[in-house]
Amino acid sequence: MVIGVCTLQIAIPFAGSLKEKRQVVKSLLARVRNQFNVSISEVDDQDRWQSAVIGIACVSTSQRYAHGQLEAVVRFIDEQRPDCPIGAYEIEML
């Protein structure tokens, strides 16, 4: 069994309050959950208005599949929210 974990930092430059940030993040998390079979949550920067750290995890029997799945999620987020640029992301296999 392989567990793939991705930590993704996104900027939300137009958010003027935590409420606006939450709206963007919740929408993004719901879209990813519906599109992919992964677990996803905001894991850091909850108090910062214009940035978010998202944690994504998937379980698979193949390391190659898990890595590909996480890369697909990152591409999906980048395509769905071009107004929220991805600062950095890291994928690791456990």
Number of structural domains in the chain: 1
Render pLDDT for 43-64 as a digit per residue (tens, 0 to 9).
988 888 899 999 999 999 999 9
Would you put residue 86 in left (φ > 0), alpha (ψ -120 to 50) or beta?
beta
Query: What pTM does this model have?
Result: 0.86
Domain of residue 19 covers 2-93
Rg (CA), the chain: 13
pLDDT of residue 26: 94
Parts of the chain with a pLDDT under 70: none
CATH code for the domain in which residue 18 is found = 3.30.70.1120
pLDDT of residue 65: 93
